[in-house]
Amino acid sequence: MSKDTVKGTSRPGNATSPYNALHFVINTLIRNKVNTAIPVRVDSVSGTGAGSAVGYVSATPLVCQTDADNNILTPDSLPQLPYCRLQGGKAAIVCDPKPGDIGIAVFAKRDITNVGQGSTQPVPPGSFRQFSEGDGMYIGGILNQAPSVYVELDPDSGAITIKAPSKIVLDSPLVEVKGQITQTGETGQGASFTGGLTNSGGTVSSNGIVLDSHTHPDAHGGNTGTPN
What integer pLDDT is reported at residue 3 of this predicted model? 56
What integer pLDDT is reported at residue 1 of this predicted model? 44
What integer pLDDT is reported at residue 8 of this predicted model? 59
DSSP symbol at 51: T
DSSP H stretches of helix in the chain: 18-33
81 near 58, Cβ under 8 Å?
Answer: yes
| Residue 20 backbone phi and psi in degrees, to 5 | -60, -40
pTM (2 d.p.): 0.74
What integer pLDDT is reported at residue 6 of this predicted model? 56
What integer pLDDT is reported at residue 116 of this predicted model? 87
